[in-house]
Amino acid sequence: MASTTKNQTSALTSLAEIEESLRQMSTSDFTELKSYAKPPLAYLAIFEGIGVLLDPSKKAWEWTDDKKLMSGNKNDFLQRLFNFDKDNINNEQIERLKSILDRHDCQPNNLAAISSLCSKLVFRGRGRGRGRGGNRGFARGRSTSRGRGRGISRGRGFVRGRSQFNVRGGYRRGAQIVRSNSMDIDQQTPSVNLLVDLDINADPKPFFINTNVTLDQHIQAQTVNLSRYLATLFTLDENSVEIGQKAKACVLAAAWCRHDHKLANNLLRHRRLFTLTEVLKALTMLDAARRIRVYEKQLKRLELCQTKPKATKLGKIKNNIDNLKKLKTSTGSASGAVARHIQRWTRTLTQQELEYFALHMPTEPWKKLADIVHFNPSKDFPALPWFLTFCFGTPAPAESMVSRCRELTNENINILIKEFKIPYSHLKQFKDHLNDESKARIASYEEKLDTILWYYEDLQCSDVDEIISERLQNGEQITLPYGKLMERLLLLRTLRDNATETTVFEHNGRGHGRGQITRNVHDQHSVQSSKCKLYSDLLLIAEAQLEKIKLPLESPVAVMGDASGSMEVAIRTATILSSLLTAVCSAKLNFFNTEMFLPTFTPKTIEDVLTLALTTRADGDTANAAGLVSYYNNKEVIKTFVMVTDEEENTDAEIADGISTRFFDLFMKYRAEIYPAKLVFISFLSHQHAQGQMYSEFQNANVPDIIQFVFSGHRPDLTKIDNLLGLLSTGSSDSFDDQVGKLQNEFQQKDVEIAMTNLLNKQKENSLPMEAEMTSAASN
């Protein structure tokens, strides 16, 4: 405890230096930060870290809280930023901060790819000390062991202090926040490739879901078996399996390195998969060798200079060289041919897309891309000739929608909607000031019906309900991800039921205002009627989609849902997942807290799933083994178990012979005595990169056939159901190989361009609203 206090105290002694560093943020940087209506996820993660310091009792830190923090000028923001209880930082705050910085979107390369401001917000310090340790953290400090090397951090942080390292590799004492080497293996030791046995013919999936695969390995895979490589990529995408940003950038960069410009051009047509982010990252890989040469020449000039350069300046250049060497490929470069193909790609961007970029996305990536490609502003952006100059600081033309939208206020919002078809994603910040007429106009002009449903809670009114129903009757398709559609149905059912309850309450009212009550009853009946109609329409669509879902889980399947008190925030999402999997797989379902209990009925339809979600309550302690006890006691063979839980097991369950046990021990007994079942954890955890205590037990014991899918425990998101279903559908090697084989044959029998055109047409039929695509791209 004394060590912890000492380290916390010493870590704050140089806080003034950090504050001074952040005060170097320019006014333009601060203005950019405030301008975001929907910022990249890295910004949200950074501000979540700030929120941990400012208000540790708050479980979730929203962008609306961040906007309040940024109200006023830059100095007001910095004053609020450092206005936290520096003397009482506890271990829980430290662990939460550490988990945030462990996230993929907070890695240095990812921050820099978004904008220079993003990387500025996460302070970097270089620890100098004795002993070697490559850990990263919030502190800068000195070690006590012999030898020269890195101290607690060469990384990110809000405070700087001293820590005591006693061994190599980053052993720590006290409560300084440190990241272990294993968390950053792809960034710290890229030359040590742990995937030397990768074989595109044997198992192609790791190329797209493992972050340690190098660009050279992607080049080799494309060279050895391009048809299987592409078939795997698009099969994973079709199954909604998340493919990382790095993997997609490597796919594109490998095509350029192989001078297969036809393939690269066709990849760029798939704009949901390959966005500006992937293009810039791929081009950065190809340009790494040139930039290394530039930095090496600069370094040589500085070293030959009569005036000794500052160590910090030399260190920064060397650090840049080190980072670029991690990206450098053995072949290929950002040649003129590649630049010309990128120029042709930008010429295909529509006015709507460019206006969306101008209104909602950072301009820094476009500036970086322009520095490499050397665009012609009018020739390469014909849909919006002023776009590139706008990215470099020139205001948009006064009569343009972008210029007018930057002047939106609470007072003129409804007037401008009559004049321009402004994307709702830009209007969202003014949602409380939209009148019903404006909402109806938005519902009429938005290109995709999906957009209206995505933001339904903001736009809901009887007129909007009628417009949606009319567009559905006219044959428009809803292509929302299945999880989002379920979320919309749950919202509509809640609104419908609330309208019914309000009507009953007002109808039974007594006393004054009977005329007003009569009008309210009429309005409520109208609202209830429109909600019922829309709910029924969407229910039919969801039921049709449900019938198409096939999961190759080995039957019989049993789903066990955690209904303990710790699941209170996530209980509806967990119940929907449990019930949905039960319906899809014809599985058995039970719930548990300290004891197992059965649902009031077995869900078979979407209506059943939603009813169960709205009626199941979370209560009591967590005895995960209770869900398994009946199957063990009855010696019932179950081949696949699905455990939906937050993994906060804190109580034993008792089996028939009176022995108390936890889940791990009971499951291992079940596997040994009854059947070697598979186990799927659907875990609601504190953050996406947590493992969970129960899953870790199985990992540490090297138990086979155990997989995990993580949801946020604080912000459970039904839209991730599609990723979950994708993971489960590709979990069976036979089923996945069959899908890959069919698509591989298509690539072999047809021209690559024809096969990819067919895929693109299929993708358009199931496309997301543009703002949803951009959000998805930023989360990768």
Most confident of 90-104, 298-312, 500-514, 622-636: 622-636
**Which pLDDT score, from 0 to 100, does residue 40 have?**
62
CA atoms within 13 A on the CB side of 78: 18
Q: Which residues contact 369 (CB under 8 A, 6 or more apart)?
A: 276, 279, 280, 283, 342, 375
- Domain contains 561: yes
Higher pLDDT, 3 or 348: 348
Q: How many CB atoms lie within 10 A of CB 708?
A: 20
pLDDT higher than 50, residue 548: yes
Cα–Cα distance for residue pair 747/228, rounded to 1 Å = 8
Q: Which of 95-99, 268-272, 588-592 has the least mean pLDDT?
A: 95-99
Q: How many CB atoms neighbour CB 617 within 10 A?
A: 12
Q: Is the dihedral of CA 108, 110, 111, 114 positive or negative?
A: positive
User: Cβ–Cβ contacts within 10 Å for residue 27, how many?
Assistant: 9
Whether residues 438 and 573 fall in one domain = no
At residue 192's C-alpha, the angle toward residues 188 and 197, to 5°, is: 135
Residue 267 falls inside a structural domain: no
pLDDT at residue 569 greater than cutoff 80: no
Which H or E element spans position 245?
A: helix 245-257
How would you list the strands of the sheet with 588-592, edge to edge?
Answer: 596-597, 588-592, 557-562, 640-645, 678-685, 706-712
Q: Contact at 8 Å (CB) between 369 and 279?
A: yes
Q: Which segment, 18-27, 32-41, 583-592, is predicted with the most confidence on average?
A: 583-592
Query: Which stretches within 115-214 are classed as H helix?
Result: 116-121, 185-188, 206-209
Same domain, 454 and 596: no
Helix spans in 409-561 (H): 413-419, 424-427, 436-445, 449-454, 456-459, 462-473, 482-507, 514-548
Judge whether 758 lies within some domain.
no
- Is 448 strand, coil or helix? coil
pLDDT above 70: residue 759: yes
In a domain? residue 283: no
> Could you give the CA distance from residue 625 to residue 634 in angstroms, rounded to a whole number?
15
Judge whether residue 81 has pLDDT over 80.
Answer: no
Number of domains in the chain: 5
Strand-strand pairing, 123-126 and 154-157: antiparallel
- The SS3 assignment for 2 reads helix
Q: Is the pLDDT of residue 498 over 50?
A: yes
Of 153, 173, 188, the last residue of a domain is: 188
Does the structure show a pLDDT above 80 at 641?
yes
Question: What kind and span of H or E run contains 683?
Answer: strand 678-685
Omega cis (within 30) before 377 = no
Identify the pLDDT of residue 481. 81
Q: Which domain holds residue 380?
A: 347-405
- Using the 3D structure, point to which of 523, 548, 573 is the last residue of a domain: 548
Confidence tier at 140 by pLDDT (50, 70, 90): very low
- Model confidence at 574: pLDDT above 70: yes
State yes or no: pLDDT of 279 exceeds 50.
Answer: yes
- In a domain? residue 46: yes
Q: Residues 663-712: pLDDT tens digits?
A: 999 999 999 999 999 999 999 998 767 788 999 999 999 998 898 888 88
Copy the structure tokens of residue 753.
């361009």
331 CB-near residues (< 8 Å, 6+ apart): 219, 257
Q: Is the Cβ–Cβ distance between 140 and 160 less than 8 Å?
A: yes
Q: Are residues 589 and 720 in the same domain?
A: yes
141 pLDDT above the threshold of 50: no
Residue 473 lies in a domain: no
Torsion of CA 682, 684, 690, 693, to 10 degrees: -80
d(CA 614, CA 359): 39
Report how far residue 626's alpha carbon sits from residue 595's, in angstroms, rounded to the nearest whole number.
5
**What CA–CA distances, in Å, run from 453 to 127, 427, 478, 484?**
50, 15, 9, 9
User: How far out from the chain centre does Cα 106 lie?
Assistant: 12
Give per-residue pLDDT as tens, 302-335.
888 878 888 888 889 898 898 888 888 888 888 9
pLDDT at 345: 95
Same-domain pairing of 393 and 415: no
Average pLDDT taken over every residue of the chain: 76
Reported as type and span, the H/E element at residue 76 is: helix 74-81
Residues 156 and 138: beta-carbon distance below 8 Å = yes
Q: Burial, 432: exposed, middle or buried (Cβ in 10 Å; 0-12, 13-18, 19+)?
A: exposed
Token pair for residue 364?
Answer: 């820094």
Distance CA 780, CA 758 (A): 25
Specify whether 436 is located in the same domain as 505: no
**If pLDDT is split at 50, 70 and 90, which confidence band does 88 have?**
low
On whether both 497 and 580 belong to a single domain, the answer is no
Residues 223, 748: Cα–Cα separation, whole Å: 14
Q: Do 584 and 715 lie in a common domain?
A: yes
Question: In the prediction, which pLDDT does 341 show?
Answer: 94
Pair (598, 678) in one structural domain: yes
Q: Which of 467, 489, 512 is the last residue of a domain?
A: 467
User: Average pLDDT of 392-396?
Assistant: 92
Count Cα neighbours of 6 within 13 Å in the Cβ-side half-sphere.
8
Q: How confident is the model at residue 391 (pLDDT cuts 50, 70, 90)?
A: very high
Nearest Cα to Cα of residue 739 among 243, 202, 238, 263: 238
Question: Over the stretch 432-480, which tens digit does the pLDDT of each residue have?
Answer: 999 999 999 999 999 889 999 999 999 999 899 999 999 998 989 888 8
Does one domain contain both 96 and 22?
Answer: yes
Reduced to 3 states, what is the DSSP secondary structure of residue 596?
strand
Kindly state whether residue 711 falls inside one of the protein's structural domains: yes
Amino acid 668: pLDDT? 96
Domain identity same for 615 and 668: yes
pLDDT surpasses 50 at 268: yes
The rounded distance, in Å, linking the Cα atoms of 28 and 597 is 58
- The verdict on 10 and 70 lying in the same domain is yes
Whether pLDDT at 543 is above 80: yes
Structure tokens at 676: 């070697």
Residue 124 has pLDDT above 60, yes or no: no
Per-residue pLDDT tens over the stretch 149-201? 433 333 434 333 333 333 333 333 333 333 333 323 233 233 334 445 788 99
d(CA 492, CA 246): 38
Percentage of residues in the chain with pLDDT exceeding 90?
Answer: 31
Confirm if 581 and 549 have CB atoms less than 8 A apart.
Answer: no
Residue 483's pLDDT is 82
Place of tokens 């500085």: 302
AA letter at 701? A
Element (H, E) at 299: helix 276-304
Q: Is pLDDT above 70 for 413?
A: yes
Hey, what are 553's tokens?
């889980």
Distance CA 352, CA 349 (A): 8
* pLDDT tier, 514 (very low <50, low <70, confident <90, very high otherwise): very low
Q: Which of 85-89, 243-247, 590-594, 642-646 has the lowest mean pLDDT?
A: 85-89
- For residue 147, the model assigns a pLDDT of 39
**pLDDT score at 400:** 86
- Spell out a b/e string for 282-321, using b for 16 or more CB atoms within 10 Å of the CB, else e: bbbbbbbbebbeebeeebeeeeeeeeeeeeeeeeebeebb
- Read off the pTM: 0.57
329 inside domain? no
Q: Is the per-residue pLDDT at 254 higher than 50?
A: yes
Q: What is the CATH number of the domain that holds 627?
A: 3.40.50.410
C-beta separation of 555 from 639 below 8 A: yes
Q: Name the amino acid, one letter, at 424.
A: Y
Taking each continuous run of H as one helix and of E as one strand, the counts in the chain are 39, 14
What is the mean predicted confidence (pLDDT) over 229-237? Answer: 92
Spatial CB neighbours of 131, under 8 Å, sequence gap ≥ 6: 143, 144, 145, 146, 147, 149, 151, 165, 166, 167, 168
Instruction: Please check the confidence at residue 3 and state whether its pLDDT lies above 60.
Output: no
How many Cα atoms occupy the beta-carbon half-sphere of 263 within 13 Å?
19
Residues 27 and 130 in one domain: yes
